[in-house]
Structure 1
Amino acid sequence: MRYLIAESNWDMMTLAQDLVTNGTLLTRTDRPEDLTHYMQIGQADLVVLAASQLGRDGVTLENLRNVRSCAPIALIARGASSEQKAAWLMAGADTVIDSQISCEEMLARLQAVARRAHGLGRPVLQYGPLRVDLMHRRAHLGDVRLKLTPKIYELLEFIALRPGRLVTRETLLTHIYGLENEPDPRVFDVYMCNLRAQLSASGGAVDIETARGSGFRFVVGDFEAAAIAA
């Protein structure tokens, strides 16, 4: 998943580094007022900002919601009162997290909010023999762990979170590389071929379908039987 995070203070910079260490894809800005711009040009699974930034430089929950109403928003606060938390939640935040909790709990809370936007109650996707562990960023086909580089894992995770939906090549590249320079198209094709080759061991239970000129679609042999963790 990719988070959009505003690094407006030391707590937020520390959190961003913890997320990078964990392997989470990040779009980072040290100008919270630019959050709406980044939300317009890219798709984020979660928006993370300091509650102390609200009301400054035009940053409000209402403005963020107007840009992308369905994007989950996590506010990070230090020692906020119950009344403050309630007001932020009523104004549009999906969660308010105390910045002083442990790194492990912080990462788990953020991911819980992000994955529930995809309808997932647990950090595991299960499609027949394919199991994708969102928390530990790995996948198994039956008892065999797939050999996935970080980029190929992100490719699999993105399409597996959107089964049956057409995903354009541009959307995939933007998700995986963010605002960085995109790779030579041939490199991306190698990633896709590698992933397809590993999924072929499923015997057709899961596959990646190419819609020529449009993009890709993650397909499951018996779509109705696909067990998405809930």
Structure 2
Amino acid sequence: MRYLIGETNWKMVTLSKAVADSGVLRTRCEDGEELADFHGMGQHDLLVLEAAQLGRAVSLADLRAQRPGLPICVVASNPPPERIAQWLMAGADAVIEDTAPLPEALAQLSAVARRAHGVAQPVIERGPLLLDLEQRRAHLGDVTLSLSPKLYEILEFLVLRPGRLAAREALLSHVYGFEDEPAPRVFDVYMCNLRAHLQSVGHALKIETVRGAGYRLEVTERRSDARPLAACSRAA
């Protein structure tokens, strides 16, 4: 997961740091006037902004029109019920009070982000693969895959979009944000390594390359139908 966070006051900076500490990728925007531009350019799963920014440089209606399917969370200080209702009607998916304990706020953000992908619980099943979004772990049967952070992030992106084409540019933007992206050959090595981790269940789940376009995660068997995983390696 990657969140776009408007770090426009100290409480938002604190929340942003807690997001990063939890392992979730983040794109930081320190200037509220640039938030709409960041929102339009990046590949993120959730937008988190401070209520005070609304009506200044951005509006919920504009943000929602810009990316209709991307969830938005508003962080507010002691908002009255009628204002919360207005924000929700205008396009916000959740309103979080800035006094909420960080674990509670993080859980709310996670729930909104994953449910936008149709995922109700933080553990996702794709054929023989179980992906734990909270622990950032991938499991094949009783084997926990030894994935580097980048490999996990690539796998998570694909698992959240099964059967859908993931454009190479979108995948790179999600994993690296606005940081320097690696040379194409380096990313090809990442994909090769990730496929090697999944090789033992290639009959049930595989990453397909769509030449000139991107990648697609294909799941051909349900977990209950998949063959035993005794051949899986525990090595990195």
Structure 2 length-normalised TM:
0.91
Deviations 1:179-219 (A, max 9, x none): 11101222211211111111112242111111122211101
For residues 126 and 2 of structure 1, what CA distance do their matches in structure 2 show? 20
For residues 8 and 143 of structure 2, what CA distance do their matches in structure 1 show? 42
Match of 1:172 in 2: 171
**Amino acid aligned to 1:52:** A
Q: How far 1:128 sits from its partner (Å)? A: 2.3
Q: How many residues align?
A: 224
For residues 162 and 20 of structure 1, what CA distance do their matches in structure 2 show? 23
1:89-108 matched pairs, under 5 angstroms: 89-108=88-107
Closer, same or farther in 2 for the Cα pair 1:68/1:4, shift >3 Å?
A: same
For residues 223 and 35 of structure 2, what CA distance do their matches in structure 1 show? 36
> In the alignment, is residue 160 of structure 1 matched against residue 149 of structure 2?
no
**Amino acid aligned to 1:200:** Q
Deviations 1:152-197 (A, max 9, x none): 1000000111111111211111110011110122221121111111
SS in 1 for 2:151: helix
> In the alignment, is residue 185 of structure 1 matched against residue 184 of structure 2?
yes
**Amino acid aligned to 1:124:** V
Q: How far 1:43 sits from its partner (Å)? A: 2.3
Match of 2:231 in 1: none
Deviations 1:1-32 (A, max 9, x none): 11111111111000111111111111111111
**Amino acid aligned to 1:136:** Q
Q: How far 1:80 sits from its partner (Å)? A: 1.2
CA RMSD after TM alignment: 1.4
> In the alignment, is residue 12 of structure 1 matched against residue 12 of structure 2?
yes
Q: How far 1:54 sits from its partner (Å)? A: 1.1
Q: How far 1:226 sits from its partner (Å)? A: 6.7
**Amino acid aligned to 1:94:** D
Gaps of 5+ in 2: 225-236
> Mean Cα displacement is larger for which, 185-194 or 15-24?
185-194
> Mean Cα displacement is larger for which, 181-190 or 112-121?
181-190
SS in 2 for 1:176: helix
Deviations 1:128-155 (A, max 9, x none): 2200011111110101000111111000
Identity %: 55
> In the alignment, is residue 122 of structure 1 matched against residue 121 of structure 2?
yes
Match of 2:63 in 1: 64
**Amino acid aligned to 2:124:** L
Deviations 1:84-137 (A, max 9, x none): 211111111100011111211111100100111101111111022200011111
For residues 42 and 101 of structure 2, what CA distance do their matches in structure 1 show? 29
The answer to whether the 8 A contact 2:2-2:44 is kept is yes
For residues 147 and 226 of structure 1, what CA distance do their matches in structure 2 show? 20
Match of 1:147 in 2: 146
Moved over 2 A (4+): none
The answer to whether the 8 A contact 1:94-1:113 is kept is yes
Closer, same or farther in 2 for the Cα pair 1:103/1:61, shift >3 Å?
A: same
SS in 1 for 2:215: strand
For residues 126 and 29 of structure 2, what CA distance do their matches in structure 1 show? 36
Structure 1 length-normalised TM:
0.93
**Amino acid aligned to 2:15:** L
SS in 2 for 1:136: coil
Match of 1:87 in 2: 86
Closer, same or farther in 2 for the Cα pair 1:215/1:226, shift >3 Å?
A: farther
